[in-house]
Amino acid sequence: MPALRFVALALFGLSLAACSTDSGPKEIGGTAAGAVAGGAIGNAVGGSTGNRVSGTVIGAAVGAFIGNRIGAALDDDDKRRAYTAQMQALESGPSGAPVAWRNPDSGRYGNVVPGPAYQTNGGYCRQYTHTVYIDAKPQIERGTACRKPDGSWSTVS
């Protein structure tokens, strides 16, 4: 049942985003991705059933807003470069040292600053700060990513 509520909430958020007359495909895609990621994170950290529902709703709303704003401005090449830098920073970046990325075609750029690795629940995690400059204005995302058993990194908050 909780999964059904989450899907319904995500579809509701998508329908609201689609109603906006000035939203393009990047805004809608960013909103959808942000809502799903934020909802999943909110659900995971919610704890008890009542708190999980609240966490899912709040996480989806915050994620949708952030995803919409970043998705509005980044093209696929920007996103690929940003993702590559984030994975490099998490995998092998020295703590506190920025891993930069730049798209010469769009003029957008950013950097990812990883924190120290730490062990939790038998796995390794790192906090990070990812700053994306859109029209010379910084958009800052802070989060935590943990290494999954298959070796890939997954953002947890």
Q: Where are the domains of the chain?
A: 2-73, 77-155
| Residue 102: CB atoms within 10 Å | 15
- Structure tokens given for 52: 């999980």
6-46 pLDDT tens trace:
444 444 444 444 444 444 454 555 555 566 666 566 555 55
Q: What ranges make up the beta strands (E) of 2-61?
A: none
pTM of the model: 0.57
How far apart are alpha carbons 56 and 156 in whole angstroms?
A: 13
111-149 pLDDT tens trace:
999 999 999 888 899 999 999 998 889 999 999 999 999
Q: Residue 97: helix, strand or coil by DSSP?
A: coil
How far apart are alpha carbons 53 and 66 in whole angstroms?
A: 20
Which H or E element spans position 80? helix 76-92
Backbone angles phi and psi of 103, in degrees to 5: -110, 105
End-to-end CA distance of the chain: 24
53-86 pLDDT tens trace:
655 666 665 555 555 555 567 889 999 999 999 9
